[in-house]
Amino acid sequence: MPMRLILLVLDGLGIGEMPDVLEVRPQDIGANTLETLVENVEHLQLPNLLNLGLGHIVPLKRFDISAASPLASYGRSRLAHQGADSYLGHQEMMGTIPSAPAALLMRQVAEYLELQLKVHGYAVRRPLIESPLLLVNESVVVGDNLEADPGLNINLTVATDLIDFEQALKIGKVIRDCVGVSRVIVFGGPGISIEDILSRVEHRDNGQVGVNSPALGVYNQDLYVQHLGYGVDPDRQAPSLLIGMGLPVILLGKMADLVVCPGAIRDPIVPTGLLMQALLDSYSSIREGFIAATVQEFDLIAHEGDVLGLASVLEEVDRCLGDLLPKMTEADGLLICADHGNDPQINIGLHTREETPLLFYQRGRPAVPLGIRDTLADVGATITHLFHAPPTQDGVSFLGS
| pLDDT tier, 182 (very low <50, low <70, confident <90, very high otherwise) | confident
In DSSP notation, 236-297 reads GSHHHHHHTTT--EEEEEHHHHH---TT-EEE---SHHHHHHHHHHHHHH-SSEEEEEEEHH
Please tell me the distance from the alpha carbon of residue 293 to that of residue 252, in angstroms, as a whole number.
4
Is the pLDDT confidence value at 100 over 90?
A: no
pLDDT at 64: 66
Residue pair 28/354 in contact by the 8 Å Cβ criterion: yes
- Residue 152 vs residue 397, higher pLDDT: 397
pLDDT at 159: 95
Residue pair 166/112 in contact by the 8 Å Cβ criterion: no
Single out the residue of 116, 144, 244, 239 nearest to residue 201, CA to CA.
144
Mean pLDDT of the chain: 93
Give the number of other CB atoms < 10 A from CB of residue 96: 27
Residue pair 271/297 in contact by the 8 Å Cβ criterion: yes
| pLDDT tier, 231 (very low <50, low <70, confident <90, very high otherwise) | confident
| pLDDT tier, 235 (very low <50, low <70, confident <90, very high otherwise) | very high
CA 88 to chain centre: 8
Single out the residue of 105, 57, 51, 144 nearest to residue 354, CA to CA.
57
What would the mean pLDDT of 108-133 be, rounded to a whole number?
96
- Residue 62 vs residue 276, higher pLDDT: 276
Please tell me the distance from the alpha carbon of residue 101 to that of residue 106, in angstroms, as a whole number.
15
CA 80 to chain centre: 15
Is the pLDDT confidence value at 66 over 60?
A: no
Is the pLDDT confidence value at 354 over 70?
A: yes
- Residue 220 vs residue 186, higher pLDDT: 186
pLDDT at 401: 60
Q: What percent of the chain has pLDDT over 90?
A: 82
Q: Is the pTM of this model over 0.85?
A: no
